Amino acid sequence: MFQEIQAALAHGERVALVTVVKVSGAAPCAPGTRLLVRADGGLVGTLGGATTDERARRDALDAITTGQAELKDYYLDPEGGESVGSCGATLRVFVEALRPEPRLLIAGAGYVGQALARLAAPLGWRVALLDDRSELTHGTSPPAGAEVALGDMPDLLRARHPDPMTWIVVVTRGHRTDQEVLRAALEGPAAYVGMIGSASKVRAIFRHLLRAGVAAADLERVHAPIGLDLGAETPDEIALSIAAELVMRRHGTSGQPLRDRHGLLRAVLDGTASDDDVPDDGATPDGADVAVVGSAEGVSAADTLTETAPGANGARPLAPTEVG
């Protein structure tokens, strides 16, 4: 069963695992028995009976939808033939959703693409760099954790069957290649499609694709120009602006500076701040303050404690960095 789980996750499929953790009475299965439920409702394994499997299937599909793990108790009715004996049985099961890491397909393995791959792999994406230039791999090692595939980029993209767990970034060497790859990217249900380029380049590509029959609703999915407005100029800075947008979109946040969002000094000056905002253990609320650390010589460091920003609050990112 673990091979089926690994294969499903490798293909970006969400599944749920139902594991028997406790048995009471004459149950048809032992603790440790597992049932794998696919997102389409398909089953691998059994808990010993069709009725029990159906209950587990419904609970597993709920877990896939909500992402919440739960303990469930199933009573097996002897009159329905679910239990082995005449006294019935109870199964306690643990239902957990297993979600694959999101997949990031970067079309273009130039300076920006490679810099983005280096940033994205530690952030939880399965990264693949796609390009048609073999010279890019001569004498160099691919970024750690990234796959490199060489060939026609639109074909490479289609062969990977982008799904709702796939994010696509188009940063190829030229306008025509960007256009061809973008059209291929829009053929599937990818979670995110972004393309690098200046406003004039993006407009030109959009016009051409509309004339070629691509629906305006499909082009609405494209994040272009890609990235947040960080004033990026170098390949590493541009990659950072793209990675920042990817993280922001994945978490559904605004990209707004936390300082602006919280307005803590203004709240203190206005007298609206509460001492209740500070927990007893001295930790800062929301993980979003900056702590200035003292030392024998005075102030020695300012450590940002931010983990993630809360919800959007109506703000939006500024205009993305324009490149090319």
Q: Each residue's pLDDT tens digit in the chain (324 positions)?
A: 788 888 888 777 889 999 999 998 888 889 999 999 998 999 999 998 888 999 999 999 999 888 889 999 998 877 655 555 556 788 999 999 998 778 999 999 999 999 999 999 999 888 999 999 877 666 567 788 888 999 999 999 999 989 888 999 999 988 999 999 999 999 999 999 999 999 999 999 999 999 999 999 999 999 999 999 999 999 999 999 999 999 999 988 888 888 888 888 888 888 876 665 555 554 444 444 433 333 333 332 333 222 233 333 333 333 333 444
**pLDDT at residue number 318:** 34
pLDDT tens digit string along 60-111?
999 988 888 999 999 887 765 555 555 678 899 999 999 877 899 999 999 9
* The CATH number of the domain covering residues in 103-251: 3.40.50.720
Check: pTM over 0.75? Answer yes or no.
no
Q: What angle do CA 129, 232, 139 make, to 5 degrees?
A: 35
**pLDDT at residue number 144:** 83
Q: What are the Cα distances from residue 71, in Å, to 1, 65, 92, 263, 309?
A: 21, 16, 7, 42, 31
CA atoms of 163 and 100, how far apart (whole Å): 12
CA atoms of 180 and 312, how far apart (whole Å): 34
CA atoms of 73 and 20, how far apart (whole Å): 10
CA atoms of 178 and 277, how far apart (whole Å): 49
Give which of 243, 239, 131 is closest to 177, Cα–Cα. 131
**pLDDT at residue number 278:** 52
**pLDDT at residue number 138:** 62
How far is the first Cα of the chain from the last one, in angstroms, to the nearest whole number? 48
CA atoms of 171 and 323, how far apart (whole Å): 10
Quote the tokens at residue 171. Answer: 């940063």
Residue reference for tokens 């399965």: 126
Give which of 191, 187, 190, 238 is closest to 215, Cα–Cα. 187
CA atoms of 169 and 76, how far apart (whole Å): 51
Q: DSSP H helical segments within 27-95, as ranges? A: 50-66
Q: What angle do CA 61, 63, 69 make, to 5 degrees?
A: 150
CA atoms of 103 and 105, how far apart (whole Å): 6
CA atoms of 75 and 63, how far apart (whole Å): 20
Whether cis (ω within 30° of 0) applies to the bond prior to 78 is no
**pLDDT at residue number 79:** 66
**pLDDT at residue number 84:** 55
Handedness of CA 44, 48, 51, 57 (dihedral sign): negative
For strand 192-195 and strand 70-76, is the pairing parallel, antiparallel, or unpaired? unpaired
Give which of 149, 152, 216, 205 is closest to 182, Cα–Cα. 205
The answer to whether 136 touches 130, Cβ cutoff 8 Å, is: no
The answer to whether 195 touches 226, Cβ cutoff 8 Å, is: yes
Collapsed DSSP state (helix, strand, coil) of residue 39: coil
The answer to whether 293 touches 301, Cβ cutoff 8 Å, is: yes
Q: CATH 3.40.50.720 occupies which residues in the chain? A: 103-251
**pLDDT at residue number 286:** 47
**Residue 80 DSSP class:** G
CA atoms of 283 and 305, how far apart (whole Å): 10
